[in-house]
Amino acid sequence: LRNGYGFIYYPHNNLYFHISFLEEGTNFEDLEEEDTVQFYITTNESDQEIAKGVRLLKTPIPKAER
C-alpha cells in the first residue's frame, strides 16, 4: 500500500486497486497489509483484472472460506 494504490492477494494473481476504487466510507489510510477486504473483479483498458468496490471487512473471513 503506497501512493494511493495497492495490491490484493487473490489466488493465481495479485489484483491492483487504486484509491479511487474504494467503497464510500473506506479510508485508504485505514488499510494495512493482511487486512481482509471485500471487492469485485473487473478489467481495465488493457484487459487486465483489477479490484474495484474495495472495502475493509471488520470481521475477517476464516481462511477455509477464502
3-state secondary structure the chain: CECCEEEEEECCEEEEEEHHHECCCCCHHHCCCCCCEEEEEEECCCCCEEEEEEEECCCCCCHHHC
Q: What was the pLDDT predicted at 37?
A: 94
Q: What was the pLDDT predicted at 13?
A: 84
Q: What was the pLDDT predicted at 47?
A: 96
Q: What was the pLDDT predicted at 62?
A: 62
pTM, entire model = 0.79
Which residue ranges of the chain lie beneath pLDDT 70? 59-66
